[in-house]
Amino acid sequence: MNATGNTSAAVRLRVNGVVRELRLDNRTTLLDALREALRLTGTKKGCDHGQCGACTVLVDGRRVYSCLLLAVALPDSDVTTVEGAVRDGRLRILQRAFLDHDALQCGYCTPGQLCSALGLLIELAAEGGDGTAPAGAVRERMSGNLCRCGAYTHIVAAVTAASKTIAEGTP
């Protein structure tokens, strides 16, 4: 990193509906900005290299690996993290389904799995269809979210069940 010139920048993000003004070291990833600058430690770091999915959040409604994005490059973005459930009823339903299906063990991958599942449901809705997530689609399209505890079968069941609940419109 060059020691001369501006090594930090101001950035405005909307995180879980709240506008946050930050001054950040240019090297700061969105993940570190969330965790360290905003103290939103619900989003986890498993690799810092875009290889595990623990850091998955939604930026402008799309799921992303927050460890791969520089925060200063995302001015005025809308970010949803696992802490944003209060704003998004669908995330609430997913959380409930994870508990009902014991879709977690250590819980470290869980915030990323939940945000990824929410992103997947948004994608499926945008693609048309009835809004439900078939098991095969969940397996294929959530493969960017590793779970070392091996809760996959339960996660798939939870996401499928939650998608039905959401599609039926019964909270």
Partner 1 sequence: MTGGQERVDGWDKVTGRARYAGDHAVGRAVTAVPVRSTVARGRIVRVDDGEALRQAGVLAVITPDNAPRLAEVHDAELMLFQNHRIAYRGQFVAAVVATSRQAATAAARLVRVAYEQSCHEVRLSADHHRLYEPEHLNEGRPAGTSSGDFAGAFDAAPVRVDETYRTPAVCNNPLETHATCASWDNGRLTLIDSTQGPNTVQNVLAALFRLRTDHVRVICEHVGGAFGAKGAPRANTVLAAMAALVVGRPVTCSFTRRDMFAVAGHRSPTIQRVRLGAHPDGRLIALAHDAVAHTSTLRRFAEQTAAAARHMYAAPHRATSHRLAALDVPSPSWMRAPGYCPGMFALESAMDELAVRTGVDPVDLRLRNDTSVHPETGQLFSSRNLAACLRSGARLFAWAGRNPAPRSGRRGHWLVGTGVAASTYTADVAPSDAAVSVSVDGRYSVSIAAVDVGTGARTMLRSVAARELGVPASAVEIRIGDSCLPRAVVAGGSMGTSSWSWAVIAACRDLRRRVRERGGVVPVTGLTARARTDAEVAALADRARFSFGAQFAEVRVDADTMEIRVPRLLGVFAVGKVLAPALARSQFVGAMTMGLSMALCEEAVTDPCSGDYAQHELATYHIATHADVQDVQASWIEEEEHHLGPSGAKGLGEIGIVGTAAAIANAVYHATGVRVRDLPVRPASLLRAHRCAEPSPHDRGDRGNAAEQP
Q: Does 146 bind partner 1 (CB under 8 A)?
A: yes
Q: Does 40 bind partner 1 (CB under 8 A)?
A: yes
Closest CB 168 distance from partner 1, rounded Å: 18
Residue carrying the six token digits 């009835």: 130
Q: Which is nearer to partner 1, 8 or 76 (CB)?
A: 8
Closest CB 117 distance from ligand FES, rounded Å: 13
Among 13, 64, 74, 104, binds partner 1 (CB under 8 A): 104
Closest CB 3 distance from ligand FES, rounded Å: 27
Q: Does 72 bind partner 1 (CB under 8 A)?
A: no
Which tokens go with 7? 């090594």
CB-neighbour burial class of residue 97 (10 A; exposed 0-12, middle 13-18, buried 19+): buried
Beta-carbon-side half-sphere exposure of residue 100 (alpha carbons within 13 Å): 13
> What's the distance, Cα to Cα, between the start and end of the chain in Å?
49
Are the beta carbons of 67 and 50 closer than 8 angstroms?
yes
Please identify, among the stretches 70-78, 81-89, 121-129, 162-170, the one whose residues bind partner 1 according to the rule CB under 8 A: 81-89
Q: Does 149 bind partner 1 (CB under 8 A)?
A: yes
Are the beta carbons of 82 and 117 closer than 8 angstroms?
no
Q: Does 111 bind partner 1 (CB under 8 A)?
A: yes
